[in-house]
Amino acid sequence: MLFSLRAFYSNNESPAPFIPTKKIIKTGIFKFSRNPMYVSFFISAIGISIILFSIGILVGAIIGIILIHKYVVLEEEKKLHNLNGYIEYKKETRRWI
């Protein structure tokens, strides 16, 4: 998550999903995933569920990532299609991992 924040702030962008993006970030962790913050959330939740032996946290993480995918990621991508270079970036970089 820290790598994502660094990439956002070094490019004068906000990580907040409700603030419109002005440009596509293709450097740093964003070379490998279009959604590294959500990936780090999911990996962290899996790790916590393993450490705490909690099936509830694991189920919550799975439900959370499904909801994030459906209601946040897909909506963000619709808005990003209008930005210069997004179509090319989408072809070059995976959505998740």
The predicted model gives 92-96 an average pLDDT of 95
Query: What is the per-residue pLDDT for 10?
Result: 77
Which residue matches tokens 């808005």?
A: 79
The span from the first CA to the last CA of the chain, in angstroms, equals: 14
Q: What residues have CB less than 8 Å from 53, skipping those under 6 apart?
A: none
Percent of the chain residues past pLDDT 70, beyond the cut: 98
Say what the pTM is: 0.80
pLDDT tens digits for 33-78? 999 989 999 999 999 999 999 999 999 999 999 999 999 999 989 9
